[in-house]
Amino acid sequence: MEETKVLIVFTGGTIGSVPEEGFLTPGGEAPRRLLLERFIKEKRAFYEERFQTKILFETACPYEILSENLNGRYLDSLWNTVKDAGGYDGIIITTGTDTLAYSSAAMGYLFADAQVPIITVSANYPLTHKKSNGFDNFEGAMLLILEGKHKGVFCSYKNEKEHFIHYATRLLMQNNYSDQVFSVKDRVYAKIENGKQGLECVTEAKERSSDAVPKALLKLKCANLPNIHIYFQRPYPGMEFWIPDDCDAILMDTYHSGTLPVAFGGFEHFLSEAQKRKIPVFIAGVSRGLNYETVRSYEKEGVSVLLQASPAAMYIKLWLLLANGLDAMKYLNISLGNDIVVS
Protein backbone atom coordinates (compact mmCIF):
# COMPACT_ATOMS: atom_id res chain seq x y z
CA MET A 1 0.00 0.00 0.00
CA GLU A 2 1.22 3.49 -0.82
CA GLU A 3 1.85 6.10 1.86
CA THR A 4 0.52 9.65 2.16
CA LYS A 5 2.64 11.84 4.41
CA VAL A 6 0.95 14.92 5.86
CA LEU A 7 2.57 17.64 7.93
CA ILE A 8 0.31 19.43 10.41
CA VAL A 9 1.64 22.85 11.41
CA PHE A 10 -0.02 24.12 14.58
CA THR A 11 0.04 27.87 15.28
CA GLY A 12 -2.79 28.39 17.77
CA GLY A 13 -6.04 30.24 17.14
CA THR A 14 -9.51 29.09 18.19
CA ILE A 15 -8.88 25.62 16.78
CA GLY A 16 -5.99 25.30 19.22
CA SER A 17 -7.65 26.96 22.21
CA VAL A 18 -9.43 25.83 25.34
CA PRO A 19 -11.83 27.72 27.64
CA GLU A 20 -10.23 28.85 30.89
CA GLU A 21 -11.98 30.99 33.52
CA GLY A 22 -14.52 32.23 30.97
CA PHE A 23 -11.99 33.11 28.25
CA LEU A 24 -10.31 31.25 25.40
CA THR A 25 -6.59 30.69 25.72
CA PRO A 26 -4.02 28.69 23.70
CA GLY A 27 -4.42 25.07 24.80
CA GLY A 28 -1.04 23.54 24.03
CA GLU A 29 -0.96 19.79 23.35
CA ALA A 30 -4.58 18.99 24.29
CA PRO A 31 -6.45 20.44 21.26
CA ARG A 32 -3.70 19.30 18.88
CA ARG A 33 -4.00 15.76 20.18
CA LEU A 34 -7.81 15.90 20.05
CA LEU A 35 -7.82 16.98 16.40
CA LEU A 36 -5.56 14.16 15.24
CA GLU A 37 -6.94 11.47 17.55
CA ARG A 38 -10.51 12.08 16.44
CA PHE A 39 -9.57 11.88 12.74
CA ILE A 40 -7.50 8.76 13.34
CA LYS A 41 -10.28 7.11 15.35
CA GLU A 42 -13.25 8.05 13.16
CA LYS A 43 -11.94 8.70 9.65
CA ARG A 44 -8.49 7.31 8.91
CA ALA A 45 -9.49 3.71 8.20
CA PHE A 46 -12.26 4.85 5.86
CA TYR A 47 -9.98 7.15 3.86
CA GLU A 48 -7.13 4.63 3.77
CA GLU A 49 -9.47 2.05 2.27
CA ARG A 50 -11.01 4.53 -0.14
CA PHE A 51 -7.73 5.89 -1.48
CA GLN A 52 -5.65 2.74 -0.93
CA THR A 53 -2.96 4.55 1.01
CA LYS A 54 -1.57 4.57 4.51
CA ILE A 55 -1.91 8.01 6.13
CA LEU A 56 1.09 9.18 8.14
CA PHE A 57 1.07 12.36 10.20
CA GLU A 58 3.97 14.49 11.38
CA THR A 59 3.56 17.72 13.33
CA ALA A 60 5.32 21.02 13.93
CA CYS A 61 4.52 24.04 16.08
CA PRO A 62 6.61 27.13 15.23
CA TYR A 63 4.53 29.24 17.66
CA GLU A 64 1.22 29.22 19.50
CA ILE A 65 -0.78 32.46 19.68
CA LEU A 66 -4.25 33.88 19.49
CA SER A 67 -4.25 34.99 15.87
CA GLU A 68 -5.12 38.63 16.58
CA ASN A 69 -1.49 38.89 17.72
CA LEU A 70 -0.11 37.83 14.32
CA ASN A 71 2.80 39.94 13.08
CA GLY A 72 5.71 39.82 10.65
CA ARG A 73 7.96 37.81 12.95
CA TYR A 74 5.37 35.07 13.34
CA LEU A 75 4.79 34.95 9.58
CA ASP A 76 8.53 34.62 9.08
CA SER A 77 8.61 31.70 11.50
CA LEU A 78 5.68 30.01 9.73
CA TRP A 79 7.28 30.57 6.33
CA ASN A 80 10.53 28.96 7.47
CA THR A 81 8.70 25.96 8.90
CA VAL A 82 6.79 25.30 5.68
CA LYS A 83 9.75 26.15 3.44
CA ASP A 84 11.97 23.59 5.16
CA ALA A 85 9.33 20.84 5.05
CA GLY A 86 10.14 18.42 2.26
CA GLY A 87 8.83 15.02 1.24
CA TYR A 88 5.20 15.60 2.22
CA ASP A 89 2.13 14.98 0.06
CA GLY A 90 0.35 17.88 1.72
CA ILE A 91 0.65 20.40 4.51
CA ILE A 92 -2.15 21.59 6.79
CA ILE A 93 -1.70 24.80 8.78
CA THR A 94 -4.05 25.34 11.71
CA THR A 95 -4.56 29.01 12.45
CA GLY A 96 -7.01 31.51 13.90
CA THR A 97 -10.01 33.04 12.16
CA ASP A 98 -9.37 36.67 13.15
CA THR A 99 -6.43 36.91 10.77
CA LEU A 100 -7.27 33.93 8.56
CA ALA A 101 -7.43 36.09 5.43
CA TYR A 102 -3.98 37.51 6.18
CA SER A 103 -2.12 34.33 7.15
CA SER A 104 -3.71 32.43 4.26
CA ALA A 105 -2.74 35.15 1.77
CA ALA A 106 0.82 35.16 3.08
CA MET A 107 1.14 31.43 2.48
CA GLY A 108 -0.60 31.80 -0.88
CA TYR A 109 1.99 34.33 -2.06
CA LEU A 110 5.07 32.76 -0.50
CA PHE A 111 4.23 29.32 -1.89
CA ALA A 112 2.38 30.31 -5.07
CA ASP A 113 4.22 27.61 -7.01
CA ALA A 114 3.62 24.82 -4.46
CA GLN A 115 3.44 21.41 -6.11
CA VAL A 116 1.42 19.85 -3.27
CA PRO A 117 -1.65 21.25 -1.51
CA ILE A 118 -0.99 23.55 1.42
CA ILE A 119 -4.24 24.24 3.28
CA THR A 120 -5.08 26.59 6.14
CA VAL A 121 -7.64 25.27 8.61
CA SER A 122 -9.35 27.08 11.47
CA ALA A 123 -12.47 26.78 13.63
CA ASN A 124 -15.41 28.92 14.68
CA TYR A 125 -15.45 27.37 18.17
CA PRO A 126 -12.89 25.37 20.19
CA LEU A 127 -12.77 21.69 19.25
CA THR A 128 -14.48 20.73 22.52
CA HIS A 129 -17.57 22.78 21.58
CA LYS A 130 -20.40 20.91 19.87
CA LYS A 131 -20.77 23.68 17.27
CA SER A 132 -17.12 23.64 16.24
CA ASN A 133 -16.47 23.23 12.52
CA GLY A 134 -12.79 22.52 13.13
CA PHE A 135 -13.04 18.79 12.48
CA ASP A 136 -15.00 19.34 9.25
CA ASN A 137 -12.47 21.90 8.05
CA PHE A 138 -9.63 19.49 8.80
CA GLU A 139 -11.38 16.62 7.00
CA GLY A 140 -11.92 18.84 3.95
CA ALA A 141 -8.20 19.60 3.88
CA MET A 142 -7.35 15.91 4.17
CA LEU A 143 -9.69 15.06 1.29
CA LEU A 144 -7.95 17.63 -0.89
CA ILE A 145 -4.58 16.04 -0.12
CA LEU A 146 -5.72 12.44 -0.53
CA GLU A 147 -7.27 13.03 -3.95
CA GLY A 148 -3.71 13.62 -5.15
CA LYS A 149 -4.61 15.96 -8.01
CA HIS A 150 -4.52 19.40 -6.41
CA LYS A 151 -1.59 21.75 -5.98
CA GLY A 152 -1.34 25.26 -4.61
CA VAL A 153 -2.41 27.00 -1.42
CA PHE A 154 -6.00 26.85 -0.18
CA CYS A 155 -8.27 27.29 2.82
CA SER A 156 -10.82 24.68 3.90
CA TYR A 157 -13.80 26.18 5.72
CA LYS A 158 -17.37 25.09 6.38
CA ASN A 159 -20.00 27.77 6.84
CA GLU A 160 -23.42 26.93 8.27
CA LYS A 161 -24.65 25.14 5.14
CA GLU A 162 -21.78 24.97 2.65
CA HIS A 163 -18.20 23.81 2.81
CA PHE A 164 -15.77 25.41 0.37
CA ILE A 165 -12.15 25.09 -0.57
CA HIS A 166 -11.04 28.69 -1.08
CA TYR A 167 -8.01 30.03 -2.88
CA ALA A 168 -5.80 31.21 -0.03
CA THR A 169 -5.37 34.65 -1.60
CA ARG A 170 -9.07 35.38 -2.11
CA LEU A 171 -10.41 35.33 1.45
CA LEU A 172 -12.24 38.43 2.59
CA MET A 173 -11.89 39.80 6.10
CA GLN A 174 -14.69 38.39 8.22
CA ASN A 175 -17.60 40.54 9.27
CA ASN A 176 -18.04 41.43 12.92
CA TYR A 177 -20.29 39.04 14.86
CA SER A 178 -19.96 36.41 12.12
CA ASP A 179 -17.94 33.24 11.84
CA GLN A 180 -18.67 32.79 8.12
CA VAL A 181 -15.82 32.84 5.58
CA PHE A 182 -16.22 34.12 2.02
CA SER A 183 -14.08 34.74 -1.04
CA VAL A 184 -14.02 37.70 -3.43
CA LYS A 185 -17.19 37.53 -5.55
CA ASP A 186 -17.72 34.00 -4.17
CA ARG A 187 -15.13 32.68 -6.61
CA VAL A 188 -13.83 29.58 -4.86
CA TYR A 189 -11.65 26.66 -5.92
CA ALA A 190 -13.98 23.82 -4.98
CA LYS A 191 -16.97 22.74 -2.93
CA ILE A 192 -17.11 19.81 -0.53
CA GLU A 193 -20.24 17.73 -1.15
CA ASN A 194 -21.68 14.40 -0.07
CA GLY A 195 -21.16 11.82 -2.78
CA LYS A 196 -21.59 8.09 -3.24
CA GLN A 197 -18.27 7.37 -1.52
CA GLY A 198 -18.57 9.98 1.21
CA LEU A 199 -17.26 13.50 0.82
CA GLU A 200 -16.21 14.65 -2.62
CA CYS A 201 -14.23 17.71 -3.67
CA VAL A 202 -16.12 19.20 -6.61
CA THR A 203 -13.87 21.65 -8.43
CA GLU A 204 -15.58 24.80 -9.65
CA ALA A 205 -15.23 26.22 -13.18
CA LYS A 206 -11.56 26.58 -14.08
CA GLU A 207 -10.02 30.02 -13.97
CA ARG A 208 -8.90 31.66 -17.14
CA SER A 209 -5.19 31.01 -17.64
CA SER A 210 -3.01 34.00 -16.79
CA ASP A 211 0.33 35.18 -18.07
CA ALA A 212 3.50 33.64 -16.70
CA VAL A 213 4.35 34.94 -13.23
CA PRO A 214 7.63 36.92 -13.10
CA LYS A 215 10.39 35.00 -11.32
CA ALA A 216 10.77 37.82 -8.79
CA LEU A 217 7.27 37.09 -7.45
CA LEU A 218 8.07 33.41 -6.98
CA LYS A 219 11.07 34.15 -4.76
CA LEU A 220 9.38 36.20 -2.04
CA LYS A 221 10.79 35.98 1.47
CA CYS A 222 9.45 37.02 4.88
CA ALA A 223 12.51 38.11 6.80
CA ASN A 224 12.25 41.91 6.42
CA LEU A 225 8.55 42.37 7.23
CA PRO A 226 9.01 44.06 10.65
CA ASN A 227 10.99 46.84 8.98
CA ILE A 228 8.21 47.79 6.55
CA HIS A 229 5.44 50.16 7.67
CA ILE A 230 2.21 50.27 5.67
CA TYR A 231 -0.66 52.59 6.57
CA PHE A 232 -3.77 50.49 5.93
CA GLN A 233 -7.09 52.24 6.55
CA ARG A 234 -10.76 51.59 5.95
CA PRO A 235 -13.29 54.41 5.31
CA TYR A 236 -15.80 55.81 7.78
CA PRO A 237 -18.14 58.85 7.87
CA GLY A 238 -16.27 62.03 8.76
CA MET A 239 -12.95 60.42 7.87
CA GLU A 240 -9.83 62.59 8.07
CA PHE A 241 -7.05 61.65 5.67
CA TRP A 242 -3.54 61.80 7.09
CA ILE A 243 -0.12 60.15 6.77
CA PRO A 244 1.90 58.76 9.70
CA ASP A 245 5.48 59.90 10.15
CA ASP A 246 6.92 56.43 9.57
CA CYS A 247 5.26 55.21 6.39
CA ASP A 248 6.54 53.27 3.36
CA ALA A 249 3.22 52.93 1.52
CA ILE A 250 -0.49 53.60 1.93
CA LEU A 251 -3.27 51.14 1.21
CA MET A 252 -6.85 52.39 1.35
CA ASP A 253 -9.75 49.97 1.58
CA THR A 254 -13.09 51.26 0.28
CA TYR A 255 -16.78 51.00 1.01
CA HIS A 256 -18.48 48.02 -0.63
CA SER A 257 -19.18 50.12 -3.74
CA GLY A 258 -15.50 50.94 -4.16
CA THR A 259 -15.83 54.52 -2.88
CA LEU A 260 -14.03 56.74 -0.37
CA PRO A 261 -15.30 59.94 1.34
CA VAL A 262 -13.27 62.18 -0.96
CA ALA A 263 -15.45 65.33 -0.72
CA PHE A 264 -14.19 66.19 2.75
CA GLY A 265 -11.39 65.22 5.10
CA GLY A 266 -8.53 66.68 3.06
CA PHE A 267 -8.30 64.00 0.38
CA GLU A 268 -6.60 66.28 -2.16
CA HIS A 269 -4.06 67.51 0.40
CA PHE A 270 -3.48 63.91 1.49
CA LEU A 271 -2.60 62.86 -2.06
CA SER A 272 -0.43 65.92 -2.55
CA GLU A 273 1.47 65.23 0.67
CA ALA A 274 1.96 61.57 -0.28
CA GLN A 275 3.36 62.56 -3.66
CA LYS A 276 5.67 65.12 -2.04
CA ARG A 277 6.99 62.46 0.36
CA LYS A 278 7.19 59.89 -2.48
CA ILE A 279 4.84 57.52 -0.66
CA PRO A 280 2.85 55.33 -3.06
CA VAL A 281 -0.92 55.21 -2.54
CA PHE A 282 -2.95 52.13 -3.43
CA ILE A 283 -6.73 51.76 -3.38
CA ALA A 284 -8.34 48.33 -3.04
CA GLY A 285 -11.88 47.01 -3.32
CA VAL A 286 -12.91 48.79 -6.53
CA SER A 287 -14.99 46.68 -8.90
CA ARG A 288 -14.59 46.93 -12.63
CA GLY A 289 -17.50 48.40 -14.59
CA LEU A 290 -19.94 51.16 -13.68
CA ASN A 291 -18.69 53.17 -10.68
CA TYR A 292 -19.75 56.27 -8.76
CA GLU A 293 -18.39 59.69 -9.65
CA THR A 294 -16.21 59.80 -6.55
CA VAL A 295 -14.02 57.10 -8.09
CA ARG A 296 -12.82 59.73 -10.58
CA SER A 297 -10.91 61.36 -7.72
CA TYR A 298 -8.61 58.33 -7.61
CA GLU A 299 -7.20 59.14 -11.03
CA LYS A 300 -4.31 61.14 -9.67
CA GLU A 301 -0.58 60.84 -10.17
CA GLY A 302 0.93 58.44 -7.68
CA VAL A 303 -2.35 56.61 -7.04
CA SER A 304 -2.83 53.02 -8.14
CA VAL A 305 -6.32 51.50 -8.18
CA LEU A 306 -5.86 47.77 -7.72
CA LEU A 307 -7.62 45.08 -9.69
CA GLN A 308 -10.42 43.00 -8.12
CA ALA A 309 -8.84 41.22 -5.16
CA SER A 310 -9.21 40.88 -1.41
CA PRO A 311 -8.03 44.05 0.39
CA ALA A 312 -6.53 41.83 3.11
CA ALA A 313 -4.55 39.92 0.50
CA MET A 314 -3.45 43.17 -1.14
CA TYR A 315 -2.12 44.36 2.20
CA ILE A 316 -0.06 41.19 2.60
CA LYS A 317 1.12 41.33 -1.02
CA LEU A 318 2.17 44.97 -0.67
CA TRP A 319 3.95 44.16 2.59
CA LEU A 320 5.86 41.28 0.99
CA LEU A 321 6.76 43.24 -2.14
CA LEU A 322 8.26 46.12 -0.16
CA ALA A 323 10.03 43.75 2.24
CA ASN A 324 11.67 42.11 -0.78
CA GLY A 325 12.71 45.40 -2.34
CA LEU A 326 10.32 45.05 -5.29
CA ASP A 327 8.40 47.77 -7.11
CA ALA A 328 4.85 47.57 -5.75
CA MET A 329 3.48 49.79 -8.54
CA LYS A 330 4.82 47.26 -11.03
CA TYR A 331 3.85 44.01 -9.36
CA LEU A 332 0.68 44.49 -7.26
CA ASN A 333 -1.65 44.10 -10.22
CA ILE A 334 0.10 40.99 -11.54
CA SER A 335 -1.84 37.88 -10.56
CA LEU A 336 -0.10 35.65 -8.03
CA GLY A 337 -1.65 32.63 -6.36
CA ASN A 338 -4.94 33.31 -8.21
CA ASP A 339 -5.51 36.44 -6.13
CA ILE A 340 -6.95 38.67 -8.86
CA VAL A 341 -10.52 37.86 -9.90
CA VAL A 342 -11.46 38.46 -13.50
CA SER A 343 -15.18 39.20 -13.93
Do 92 and 14 have their domain in common? Answer: yes
- pTM for the model stands at 0.95
E strand spans, the chain: 2-10, 17-20, 23-26, 53-60, 90-94, 117-121, 152-158, 163-167, 190-195, 198-203, 230-233, 249-252, 281-283, 303-305
Q: How many CA atoms, within 13 angstroms, populate the side-chain half-sphere of residue 25?
A: 5
Interatomic CA distance for residues 40 and 34, integer angstroms: 10
Per 3-state DSSP, the chain is made up of helix, strand and coil in percentages (nearest 5) of 30, 20, 45
pLDDT at position 211: 66
The residue from 136, 169, 203 where one domain ends is: 203
Length reported for the chain: 343
Say which CATH number the domain at 146 has: 3.40.50.1170
β-strands 23-26, 17-20: how paired? antiparallel
**Which parts of the chain sit beneath pLDDT 70?**
205-211, 290
Do 149 and 270 have their domain in common? Answer: no
Q: In what order do the strands lie in the sheet with 249-252?
A: 230-233, 249-252, 281-283, 303-305
Q: Residue 177 corresponds to which amino acid?
A: Y
Q: Residue 78 corresponds to which amino acid?
A: L
Do 264 and 297 have their domain in common? Answer: yes
Do 186 and 242 have their domain in common? Answer: no
Tell me whether residue 337 is in a domain. Answer: no
β-strands 190-195, 163-167: how paired? antiparallel
CB atoms within 10 A of CB 215: 7
Do 190 and 327 have their domain in common? Answer: no
Tell me whether residue 212 is in a domain. Answer: no
Do 80 and 173 have their domain in common? Answer: yes
Do 271 and 322 have their domain in common? Answer: yes
Tell me whether residue 57 is in a domain. Answer: yes
Interatomic CA distance for residues 165 and 150, integer angstroms: 11
25: β partners: 18
Do 231 and 257 have their domain in common? Answer: yes
Number of domains in the chain: 2
Per the structure, the complete domain to which residue 64 belongs is given by 2-203
Tell me whether residue 76 is in a domain. Answer: yes
Do 34 and 98 have their domain in common? Answer: yes
The residue from 142, 169, 203 where one domain ends is: 203
Tell me whether residue 341 is in a domain. Answer: no
DSSP 36-75: HHHHHHHTHHHHHHHHTEEEEEEEE-S--B-GGG--HHHH
Do 194 and 85 have their domain in common? Answer: yes
pLDDT at position 208: 62
Tell me whether residue 111 is in a domain. Answer: yes
The residue from 203, 229, 254 where one domain ends is: 203
Say which CATH number the domain at 301 has: 3.40.50.40
Do 85 and 174 have their domain in common? Answer: yes
Tell me whether residue 27 is in a domain. Answer: yes
Tell me whether residue 343 is in a domain. Answer: no
Do 168 and 77 have their domain in common? Answer: yes
CB atoms within 10 A of CB 54: 12
Smallest Cα–Cα separation from 90: which of 13, 171, 9, 168?
A: 9
What angle (nearest 5°) sits at the alpha carbon of residue 99, between those of residues 143 and 265?
140
